[in-house]
Amino acid sequence: MRGGNREMRRMLDKMGLDMSTLDNVEEVIIKTDKKELYLIKPQVIEMKGKDSTIFQVVASDIEEKQREVPSFKEEDVILVMQQASVSREKAIQALTESKGDMAQAILSLTT
């Protein structure tokens, strides 16, 4: 950007954004349904507006790890839902906590 940092700050002020650097950030973690990204020692800039906050993260050291996504048979989920009279989300949560043991999942939901 021409004009450098001063020009950028003027533009942000006109937009109503207050910009500041967050110091001593050790890591930023981004989690998706299948993986986790670890941004080590990033530079984080916070831009606050009237209704929202924007974070700009710059990192050169990134570690990526795959997340364990439990998968259950549809019949197992339906059986737990029916036997415990609960929603699909609660049935999946119970199956996850019981590591796929349907009997334990049903017992935990009904007792």
What kind of fold does domain 74-110 have according to CATH? Helicase, Ruva Protein; domain 3 (1.10.8)
In the block, tokens 């670890």 appear at: 38
Among the listed residues 10, 17, 13, 9, the one whose alpha carbon sits nearest the alpha carbon of residue 49: 17
pLDDT at 5: 75
Architecture of the domain defined by 4-66? Single Sheet (2.20)
Residues of the chain with CATH 2.20.70.30: 4-66
> Rg of the chain over CA atoms, in angstroms?
23
| Per-residue model confidence as pLDDT tens digits over 63-79 | 999 987 677 889 999 99
The pLDDT of residue 3: 56
Q: Say what the pLDDT of residue 1 is.
A: 45
Rounded average pLDDT over 86-99: 91
DSSP label of 43: E
Q: What pTM did the predictor assign?
A: 0.55
The 10s digit of each residue's pLDDT in 5-53 is 788 778 877 888 888 899 999 999 999 878 999 999 999 999 898 888 9
Quote the CA–CA distance of 53 and 86 in Å, as a whole number.
37
CA 53 to chain CA centroid, Å, is 16
